[in-house]
Structure 1
């Protein structure tokens, strides 16, 4: 074996070891892996809190430092998740990955994409869809809470995305915490169809924004109510058709009829 082949083999073995380590950290159940996953979740939630507050923090002196620090974290996290994936090509085609890449672009160019910064809150949706933040619940036998929590996350994501859009589009002249609170107040009043009328968006675009907010908001409220009041389901992917939600006492998949073996702790 020549030196070039040996060097390539060494690099491949190092990459394989790195991928194996990352896979154990992101998907394992050892105490070390659980501590790592908990730390990542805490960091992610802190990042999302910054995204929610960023419209009123944008003029602060430390904004760019925090912005670029978060960009570095997201770059490292995205690369690590990609290396930990069993199929990188399939992983990169997922919508959640594209959302994270878009968020990363807005972080690297915060002033160029200032008007799209409110979309960073979609990071909360991508985390919810990836299932990463729900694993602690499932390990503790609380998997039936996942759908309800996911519905809450979807509603909160929508509220903050719309609030950011309304603030960036209609309240920039009144920038600051008061303007952001007004935008949030309008969003909640519109989504709940309360319609106090003390804050109204001007013009045709303001009316269209209110209409879209009401329609989507009502749909998300209905979804949340369904997840709370309908009978609980367990999350257990069917080996045949991949249907994930089943009755706790189901013996056969209601979609394809395949025999199930749902563990009692699921």
Structure 2
């Protein structure tokens, strides 16, 4: 019996794939059999991850990609198809978080989050659809996986802007899934809500809320998060990566327009 999680022959582009969750997802996709292109603005780190994946026997490459720039999306998709011979998985992982109280949010910081987390995600879906749909440059259908956040499901102090952008990712996922289905693109669109993970971004968030006086120290901030989580711990990159493999694979072939929570029950 065929393994429904086997991604052999699949071709993926992972944005923000140079570190953290993105790098973990890229590695998990490659281990499941996919060829993977890393898209990021961090060139040295991105090339290192691509080299690591190639060392595991997968086709892999790096493309510089600022997700807010449409011309770079066009180039990244073309380069992905050229480097690994196709394109049927997009992981829209690139994102940013600025911690601020509502009374202190800076418009420029808010606009930057909107640009990266919302505009970047939607441009990714736009160019994935154009490439993956019948008659596109790849033309074999596929799976789009957007990385939202548990911040879209809960109310936590000092992340109003970030929470708003990740809530938008959730809504855009569902609308895009409806369009792709109605128009016969053969592309499924889903999202993942990761819980807090002690990556560079996660640690900075904890430091920031302490700096704002919301918690006395980092341990107290992390304890507040785990206290909201029925499973009583922080999330791990590998757990988010496993969910991405599931959504990319035939194991989820009748799932679209859905959000998969990988947050230990925090948003329930």
Same fold (TM over 0.5): no
TM-score normalised according to structure 1 size: 0.29
Q: Structure 1 or 2: larger helix share?
A: 1
**More contact order relative to length (CA 8 Å, sep ≥ 6):** 2
Q: Structure 1 or 2: larger strand share?
A: 2
Highest CA radius of gyration, 1 or 2?
1
